[in-house]
């Protein structure tokens, strides 16, 4: 069975754009592979500087994924920092690649431009990510388009190592997630936490209603375009046609219908999420980390032998 690996930074609450654009496609894909999902808490240290926040986010993002349909019985879900082979292999790769090579990373430049501290950790970030991917004989890495170059870096690290020490690492391929186009936010622009135009994925019905009521409506047509675009994520065109015919020009009624449809889709996930305790998550991550460690240790034994660390 082919292997899938992906990593998620434990940062912030998810919105329905994240769900349709990244979460759902990754979870659907994970079902078809021997898959591993890693909560990359060490990567998050580049931006999260408070221990309680990091702990809370690590538990929260794991709950989100399980509530959205990821099955911990079938997918190894684990915490990066609990498998120390990741940092060891990252160091080894850092000794193989050059500073000018790492300086070409778009993500690094973008983050520094946004005001994130240019720490040595942020600079070396792609080599830790390469270690994540390459430790596990990964075939495919589902990621958003912004991570394409990082997966190329992982291939480059594999090639450099294989060249120096003989065939050891498989060159993994990125699988760029085909999002449901771009999920629009309440102002019609791309839904994004940085624009404050989101509908929360695990929000209460009241929170959903509040966001939906704030969707901007254009008075030109008889059909509110942004409401309709969002509605299409939850119902087919055929299902929506009679509704939008019956309520021509009645924006409030259409928004009420959208609230009901979003809530109907989300409430089972919200209930599932509420039923998962912190202790459940800690247990799942512990078991997952043990399984990952076993695989990582086998690989590192081979690596240490080849590079001359084991005598």
Residue 211 lies near ligand ADP (rule: CB under 6 A):
no
SS3 106: helix
CB nearer to ligand ADP: give 82 or 192.
192
Residue 43: which of ligand TRP, ligand ADP, none does it interact with, CB under 5 to 8 A by kind?
ligand TRP
Report the residue from 97, 154, 191, 296 that binds ligand ADP according to the rule CB under 6 A.
191
CB 75 within 8 A of CB 35: yes
Report the residue from 111, 148, 170, 193 that binds ligand ADP according to the rule CB under 6 A.
193
Catalytic residues: 111, 190, 193
Site string for ligand ADP, 14-53 (x = CB under 6 A): ---xx-xxx-------------------------------
Report the residue from 50, 98, 167, 194 that binds ligand ADP according to the rule CB under 6 A.
194
CB nearer to ligand ADP: give 10 or 288.
10
Residue 175 lies near ligand TRP (rule: CB under 6 A):
no
Q: What is the DSSP string of 162-198?
A: HHHH-S-----EEEE---SS--B-TTSSBP-GGGT--
CB nearer to ligand TRP: give 49 or 283.
49
E strand map for the chain = 3-8, 34-39, 76-79, 140-143, 173-176
Residue 162 lies near ligand ADP (rule: CB under 6 A):
no
Residue 262 lies near ligand ADP (rule: CB under 6 A):
no
- Please count the residues of this chain forming the interface with ligand TRP, following the rule CB under 6 A: 13
CB nearer to ligand ADP: give 17 or 203.
17
∠ CA 44-45-49 to the nearest 5 degrees? Answer: 115
∠ CA 85-140-101 to the nearest 5 degrees? Answer: 65
What single-letter DSSP state applies at residue 232?
T
* Residue whose entry in the numeric block shows the structure tokens 């990082």: 150
Report the residue from 135, 141, 257, 262 that binds ligand TRP according to the rule CB under 6 A.
141
Report the residue from 127, 135, 143, 209 that binds ligand TRP according to the rule CB under 6 A.
143
Q: What residue is closest to ligand TRP based on CB? A: 7
Q: Rounded to an integer, what distance in angstroms lies between the CA atom of residue 235 and that of residue 289?
A: 38
Cα Rg, the chain, nearest whole Å: 22
Q: Rounded to an integer, what distance in angstroms lies between the CA atom of residue 31 and that of residue 1?
A: 11
Buried b / exposed e across 124-158, counting CB within 10 Å, b at 16+?
Answer: bbbbbbbbbbbbbbbbbbbbeeebeebbebbbbbb
Residues that bind ligand TRP (CB under 6 A): 5-7, 9, 40, 43, 129, 132-133, 141, 143, 147, 150
């Amino acid at each position: 069975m082919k292997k899938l690996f992906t990593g998620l930074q434990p940062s912030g609450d998810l919105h329905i754009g994240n769900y349709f654009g990244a979460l759902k496609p990754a979870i659907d894909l994970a079902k078809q592979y021997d898959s591993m999902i890693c909560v990359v808490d060490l990567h998050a240290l580049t931006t999260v500087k408070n221990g309680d926040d990091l702990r809370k986010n690590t538990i929260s993002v794991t709950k989100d994924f399980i509530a959205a349909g990821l099955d911990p019985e079938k997918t190894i879900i684990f915490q990066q920092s609990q498998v120390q082979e990741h940092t060891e292999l990252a160091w080894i790769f850092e000794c193989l690649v050059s500073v000018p090579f790492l300086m070409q990373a778009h993500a690094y430049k973008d983050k520094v431009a946004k005001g994130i501290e240019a720490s040595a950790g942020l600079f070396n970030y792609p080599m830790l990510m390469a270690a994540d991917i390459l430790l596990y004989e990964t075939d495919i890495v589902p990621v958003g388009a912004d991570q394409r170059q990082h997966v190329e870096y992982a291939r480059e690290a594999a090639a450099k190592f294989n060249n120096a020490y003989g065939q050891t690492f498989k060159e993994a391929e990125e699988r760029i997630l085909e999002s449901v186009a771009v999920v629009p936010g309440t102002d019609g622009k791309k839904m994004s936490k940085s624009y404050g135009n989101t509908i929360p994925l695990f929000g209460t019905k009241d929170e959903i209603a509040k966001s939906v009521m704030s969707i901007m409506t254009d008075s030109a047509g008889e059909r509110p375009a942004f409401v309709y675009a969002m509605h299409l994520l939850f119902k087919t065109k055929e299902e929506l046609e009679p509704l939008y015919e019956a309520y021509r020009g009645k924006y409030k009624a259409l928004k009420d219908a959208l609230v009901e449809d979003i809530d109907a889709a989300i409430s089972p996930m919200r209930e599932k999420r509420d039923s998962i305790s912190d202790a459940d998550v800690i247990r799942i991550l512990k078991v997952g980390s043990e399984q990952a460690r076993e695989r990582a240790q086998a690989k590192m034994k081979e690596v240490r032998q080849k590079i001359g660390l084991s005598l």
